Copies of this chain bind each other. A is one copy, B any other.
Amino acid sequence: MPDWKKVRDDFPALHQQVNGKPLVYLDNAATTQRPRIVIDALSRFYERDNANVHRGLHALSMRATDAFEGARARVAKFINAAAPEEIIFTRGTTESINLVANTWAVANLKKGDVILLTEMEHHSNLVPWQLAAQRTGAQLRYLPVTGDEGLLDLSQLDRVLTPEVKLFAFTHMSNTLGTINPAAELCARAKKVGAVTVIDGAQSIGHMPVDVRALGCDFYAFSGHKMGASTGIGALYGRRALLDAMPPYQGGGGMITNVEFFESRWKPSPERFEAGTPNFADAVTLGLACDYLDGLGRAEIARHDGQLAQLAYEKLSTLPGIRLLGPKSGRGGLVSFAFNEVHAHDIVTFADEDGIALRGGHHCNQPLMRKLGLTGTTRASFYVYNTEAEIDALVASLRRILKFFSGN
């Protein structure tokens, strides 16, 4: 088991004071902090190996290409893809999902087809499908969420997962509820009706073991910045057979075999989907973040984050008037809650005064919020460096806030 106390030393940003208090960073679902090895690797890359990739035959360019393609192979291994060519580098989860919506969906969907989503989707796994539906004439449909306990209502799955469903996109873990969805089961059910599956892995990728072949999904989208890598890099996993049949995404350098003035031919994946100079330096950090997380052990991380979340859930439930969202047990590493008396933004501002970084608002889940009769929640989300003591600090801070607003 990792020595969790030591893990904190790996993250320079944690060791600072905010408003005169030691920083308690509980906003990991928005973005994690980066370990020292990631930060240093970025400097080192720019100091030594920096050159454009792929089309270069000089030493720096070959080093950069090796590092970039090495990162792709590392990411493939991280999620057990069949080959590096199944990994397309993108800016992050949002772009990965838009890529599928603008390629596979546009080429394969038509009027009468249905895109199935769930009521707990982040805007990034919802709006792209609204746009794709507008463009193709397909319709959206939603698998309901049960209520405050935030589970997918699987009793409704047969009703909504009909043969018209050509694509089923759902989140592996909810960024608001903390729910971990039964992704393998959902993929198996989708396969039965012939629907292609897209998993939004933004919240799962850095927090638990992820094996795309065991999950049986067709696409898996995720962001590097939520797993310790730098910003501006993420990936889309796609099954080779699907990728090879897909039209290109963006046009430009690097994705063609042949360009004439009036027509062009495309390279296979991944190049077909990576027009222009890729974000090669940040891609290298994604490979290193994989190393770092595997060094800790992803099953260990899942246990660590889940235990903190469970503890937070229990301690928070002692606060007067609190409304806690998401499952009572088996949750991922976050807790989200609301009070009638105090708005989430006031809580975040007050907690910040205690050095505690929280997030308040709709968390890009407006439709879910509306369904639950909420305008927003306050969310505390955990990662490998968070501690029980930090949860105590959070609870103490919330008590002070409630006191202030209740006026005594």
Q: CA–CA, A214 to B187, complex, Å?
A: 55
Q: Does A146 contact B (CB under 8 A)?
A: no
Whether the pair A27, B58 counts as a contact (CB closer than 8 A) is yes
A264 on the interface (CB 8 Å rule)?
yes
**A50 → chain B closest CB, angstroms:** 5
Would you call A92 an interface residue if the criterion is a C-beta within 8 Å of the partner chain's C-beta atoms? yes
* Residue ID in chain B nearest A280 by CB atoms: B231
A50 contacts B33, C-beta separation under 8 Å: yes
CB of A241 within 8 A of chain B? Answer: no
Residues of B contacting A308 in the complex (Cβ-Cβ under 8 angstroms): none
Query: Which residue of the partner chain, among B102, B260, B358, B364, contacts A253 with CB atoms under 8 Å?
Result: B364
Q: Hey, which chain B residues are within 8 Å of A254, CB to CB?
A: 123, 364
Asked if A276 meets B33 with Cβ closer than 8 Å, knowing A27-B56, A348-B58, the reply is: no
Q: How far is the CA of A61 from the CA of B15 in the complex (A)?
A: 16
Q: Give the number of copies in the complex.
A: 2
Residues of chain B within 8 A (CB-CB) of A317 are none
Is A52's CB under 8 angstroms from B39's CB? no
C-alpha spacing A356/B258, complex, angstroms = 29
Contact present for B128 and A252 (CB under 8 Å): yes
Closest beta carbon of chain B to A104's beta carbon, Å: 15
A16 and chain B: residue at smallest CB distance: B48
**Interfacial residues of chain A within 35-70, with CB under 8 A of chain B in the complex:** 38-40, 42-43, 46-48, 50-52, 55-61
Most buried by B among A230, A259, A364: A259
Which of A74-82, A93-101, A158-166, A176-184 forms contacts with chain B? Answer: A93-101
Q: Could you tell me the distance between the alpha carbons of A271 and B142 in the complex, rounded to whole angstroms?
A: 27
Q: Would A231 and B94 count as touching, CB distance under 8 A?
A: no
Contact with B along A128-147 (1 / 0, CB 8 A): 11110000000010100000
A367-B259 contact given A27-B52, A357-B58, CB 8 Å threshold: yes
Contact: B93 with A276, CB < 8 Å? Answer: yes
> Is B57 touching A252 in the complex (CB atoms < 8 A)?
no
Select A95's contact among B102, B260, B276, beta carbons within 8 Å. Answer: B276
Contact of A91 with B279 at beta-carbon distance under 8 Å, contacts A13-B46, A31-B51, A124-B251 already known: yes
**What are 6 A-B interface contacts by the 8 Å CB criterion?**
A13-B47, A30-B52, A33-B46, A95-B275, A123-B251, A232-B232
